[in-house]
Amino acid sequence: MVPTSKKTARCAALAAVLALLLGGLQPAAQGYVLNYTVAASGGCPQPNRFNTAMAGIVDRRWSTSLSSSPQTVLTAATDPTARLNEIEQSILRSFAVWTAVSGTSLMPTSLGPLGRTTTQSACQLQDGLNTICFNQSSSLFTGGVLAFTRVVTSDLVGEQPFPNSPPSSFVGEILDADILFRPNDSSVRFATPAALPANSSAFDLESVLIHELGHLFGFSHSGIWRAIMFPFAPPPGTFAGERPTEQRPDAPLADDDRVGLRVLYPNPADIRLDTVNGGEIRGRVVPANPIALAGLAETSPGRAVTGIFGAHVLAVDADTGEIVAGVLAGWSCDPASPPVRFDGSFVLERLPLGRNYKIYVEPLDGPVSAANVQGGVQSLCRSDVPQPCTPPPVSTRFTLLVVP
């Protein structure tokens, strides 16, 4: 996550084209901007996620090592023990935001107890532990980066890279994920909810942490401003969305976050019987003039490019104007004939039923740019497999014509 003040809007561009929105029955591409893994043997990209069939699978802890000069994590409490307890409560509330979403298999029972370690550099990708660190340096803290998440996934069923951890059950299973906050920077400070009113120049700790936990659970970034997975942090002194409450523990999330989580962690019950969030809209975004895509097959070996790749497709409530969900369109994959087809396909899944929707399509030309979703784009392909491919550039220069 980066602050809005450090936003850049540089992006790849194609020749200007006129795009059409067509309905179709292409193989369903997994919607929303997720991160994926392609198996070592090749095949279709699989979304990264934890194996929630196993209770307590998210083994979590945090490092109590905190920078003191400068002090980068601010609390209302001043006693050392009380400070740690205040930070830990923010961590617990942030996890609870994601596990409170209805209709998913990611539930409180998926989480192990929140442990502590005094180790300063506890965020290591070789231990199989999911750790949050506030005082660990990294070369990835480039200008504007407030925090980042590193994730290790399995590309082979039965893989056991860490001692005492269960073998992986599926490709894309998250085996280790760590969250690092920017340390030792007097210009970047984080404050708990209790400390934020008195520290208006600090970033809200829970806003940043809830966002990074989205990455930990498998999300890339969202192009929707209200979504917690929007790539830019709220201004210092403010909170993204609403504070969680006992009545609405998932209040900080937008509908896009909730819908995406239902796709990533579907309820064990048959989702076809879901009478609340079982809606689905699918189609393709294709060029009015196919010549506009000429030459992309050479830059994207493995598949010809027959549709607009990287268009942001939104499901908007026609009655309220509220954005319910957004997906990164442009691809589909048939398990019988991998790799990915760059055919402009999209599918909006797990939409709330009983609402009227309009579909809106836009290019990622700012404030969210193609660079902000590169994790979700690059993970669609792999070059060292029997069916290699390379994603085409994200198309950002087009206008839209809707065809029934």
pLDDT digits (tens, 9 = 90+) for 128-144: 899 999 999 999 998 88
Those residues whose C-beta lies under 8 Å from the C-beta of residue 289, and which sit 6 or more positions away, are 17, 18
52 touches 105 (CB < 8 A)? yes
CA 53, CA 51: separation in Å to the nearest integer? Answer: 5
CA atoms of 49 and 37, how far apart (whole Å)? 10
- Give pLDDT, residue 144: 87
Q: What's the whole-model pTM score?
A: 0.89
Question: What tokens does 332 get?
Answer: 């589909």
Residues 199 and 148: their CA atoms lie apart, in Å, by 23
Q: Confidence class of residue 19 from pLDDT cuts 50, 70 and 90?
A: very low
Report residue 193's pLDDT band, with 50, 70 and 90 as the boundaries: very high
**Backbone phi, then psi, for 43, in 5-degree steps?**
115, -165
Structure tokens at 213: 């936990």
Q: Which of 89-103, 229-243, 277-291, 332-346 has the lowest mean pLDDT?
A: 277-291
Torsion of CA 179, 180, 181, 184, to 10 degrees: 170
Report the half-sphere exposure of 44 (CA within 13 A, side-chain side). 15
Q: What type of residue is 166?
A: P
The pair phi, psi for residue 85, each rounded to 5°, is: -65, -40
Q: What percent of the chain has pLDDT over 90?
A: 65
Q: What is the mean pLDDT of residues 334-339?
A: 92
